[in-house]
Amino acid sequence: MNSTKNKLNKKSKMPFNINRKSFLGVLSLAYQEIIDSFLTKTKIKKPKEEEVLDLVRLKATKNDPKSILKIIDAYAYRKTFLMNIGDQKGLLLEQAIKDSNAKNILELGVYLGYSSIRILNSLREDSKLTSIEANEKFARIAKEHISIAGLSKNHDLKIGTSSNLITELNDPFDFVFIDHWKDLYLSDLKLLETTGLLKKGAWIFADNVVLFNLEDYLDYVRTSSDYSSKFIPTLREYSKSHPDGVEISIYKL
Ligand code: CA
């Protein structure tokens, strides 16, 4: 993504046929989740998130973030889907972190710490990441992944619901990565605005805006005069056919 900043002035629209295809993408994910949940409940296998942690413990090179990302990607491509941002959109996220020159970053939705590792590995030495995850089990696994990656120093992982924890934050952010519950994207963005937690010029990077058809969110950031917004079409994480995309919006107030 060369000079994303220059491309952010144009408001863009999704391709018109993308929703049906992305619906099939959601269906295929739901099918995989049902199978995995059945195998876990019948104790045929461990939950996939614990299998990933076992693999990272066993195979990752300590203090080598890329070795951990590689293990997680390989699992998601070859075994079972994982709701990480994935290797392709992950590069867009890393580039956006670098282009924005962000010092104080907020991440909503951590899962296994995959995107946290990508963000932390792209940060400047004097920058920091605050991450919020509602699921205690996922947060514990993420914390260990980030620790094995050697990236815990500039990281604060908070466990709880985003709407509660956002109101306890004080230091305004210049980059927000949104990747948690899809019906919370818009309400949490508005909460960040009203609590004064968005710096002027803050970048908001929202994942899965096509996969989950986030029309309300997109409508808001694309029509509000407070934002300059750009859509980047991608494929869904770990898929070679299902469409997805990210929306990068710059807060102008
Ligand atoms: Ca995602």
The answer to whether residue 224 is domain-embedded is: yes
The answer to whether residue 227 is domain-embedded is: yes
Report the number of distinct structural domains present in the chain: 1
The answer to whether residue 4 is domain-embedded is: no
The answer to whether residue 96 is domain-embedded is: yes
Q: What is the pLDDT of residues 26-78, one digit of tens each?
A: 777 777 778 877 887 777 778 999 999 999 999 999 999 999 999 999 999 99
Question: Which domain CATH number covers 67?
Answer: 3.40.50.150
Q: For 157, which DSSP code?
A: E
The answer to whether residue 7 is domain-embedded is: no
Where in the sequence is the domain holding 55, given as residue range(s)?
Answer: 17-251
The answer to whether residue 6 is domain-embedded is: no
The answer to whether residue 100 is domain-embedded is: yes
Q: What is the pLDDT of residues 122-163, one digit of tens each?
A: 998 899 999 999 999 999 999 999 999 999 999 999 999 999
To the query of whether residue 179 is one of the catalytic residues in this protein, the response is yes
Ligand 1 center to 208 CA (angstroms): 5
Q: What is the pTM of this model?
A: 0.87
To the query of whether residue 207 is one of the catalytic residues in this protein, the response is yes
To the query of whether residue 237 is one of the catalytic residues in this protein, the response is yes
Assigned token pair, 3: 């000079």
The answer to whether residue 77 is domain-embedded is: yes
Q: Give the count of beta carbons closer than 10 Å to the beta carbon of residue 66.
A: 13
Ligand 1 center to 219 CA (angstroms): 19
Sheet of 227-235: strands edge to edge? 155-159, 128-133, 104-108, 173-178, 198-206, 243-251, 227-235
Choosing from 207, 230, 244, 247, the catalytic residue is 207
Mean pLDDT of 194-210: 97
In whole angstroms, what is the distance from residue 248 CA to residue 176 CA? Answer: 10
Ligand 1 center to 165 CA (angstroms): 20
